[in-house]
Amino acid sequence: MQMMNKNGFSRCAEFYIGRLRKEGRHSTAHVYKNAIFSFSKFCGTSNVSFRQITRERLRRYGQYLYECGLKPNTISTYMRMLRSIYNRGVEAGSAPYVPRLFHDVYTGVDVRQKKALPIGELRRLLYEDPKSERLRRTQAIAALMFQFCGMSFADLAHLEKSALDQNVLRYNRIKTKTPMSVEILDTAKEMINRLRSN
C-alpha cells in the first residue's frame, strides 16, 4: 500500500476510504469517513499525523464521544476504524508500532444494547394503515422482510423467483455470500404475489 506522506494518518484514511468506494463498499467507506471526520474535529485539524495518535489522546477522544452522547457501540466502531487505519500505516512503514496503543479505549461490542423495537411500535409499523398507496407498498416490503427473519433490503431486492421452492426460501446473502434457508408462512407467499402484481 502506498502512502502519500510519512506522517499522514488522514491521507492514509482518505486512500483507504477511496479504495473501499472503488470496491463498492460504500457503507463501510461512509462509517470510516464519519470516524475520521469526528477524530479530525476532535484534534482540531483535517490533517492528522500518525504522531498525534497517542494513548492519552485516544482515551480523551473516547471520553469526548461519550460526553457527546454517543453509545458504546458507536464509540467502539469509531475506535476500531481508527485502529484499522493506524495498523495500515504501521504495515506500510508510515507509522511507528506502539504496543497496546488502543488498550485504554473501548473496542468491544455491547450486546446488551437493545436493538428491538417495542412491540407497540412494531405493530404500528407493520399493521397500521399508512394512508397512501406508496407507503402501503413500503409497509408490505417491511412486513415481508420481518417475516423472512429480518432479511436485509439488499437481499430482498436481489431475490429471484426461483429462490422460493414450496415453503422454503433459499438465497445467498449479497454482502457475505452466505447461503440462507428460511421457511416461510403462507401469508408471506400471499404478500409476495401481491407485491409482484403491483
Amino acid identity at 54:
T
pLDDT value for 62: 96
Burial 76-110 (b: 16+ CB within 10 A, else e): bbbbbbbbebbebbeeeebbeeeeebbeebbeeee
Nearest to 14 by CA among 37, 44, 45: 37
Burial class (CB in 10 A: 0-12, 13-18, 19+), 16: buried
Residue boundaries of the structural domains of the chain = 9-91, 119-197
Distance CA 149, CA 145 (A): 7
In sequence order, what DSSP letters do the residues of 7-67 get, joined into one string?
T-HHHHHHHHHHHHHHTT-HHHHHHHHHHHHHHHHHHT-SS--GGG--HHHHHHHHHHHHH
pLDDT in tens, the chain (198 residues): 333 444 599 999 999 999 999 998 898 999 999 999 999 999 999 999 999 999 999 999 999 999 999 999 999 999 999 999 999 999 999 999 999 999 999 888 877 666 678 889 988 988 899 989 899 989 988 988 888 888 888 888 888 888 888 888 899 988 888 899 888 888 888 888 788 776
Class of domain 9-91: mainly alpha
- Give the DSSP H or E segment for 168: strand 168-172
pLDDT value for 5: 45
Angle between helices 26-43 and 72-91 (to 10 degrees): 90
Contact criterion met (CB below 8 Å) for 92 and 5: no
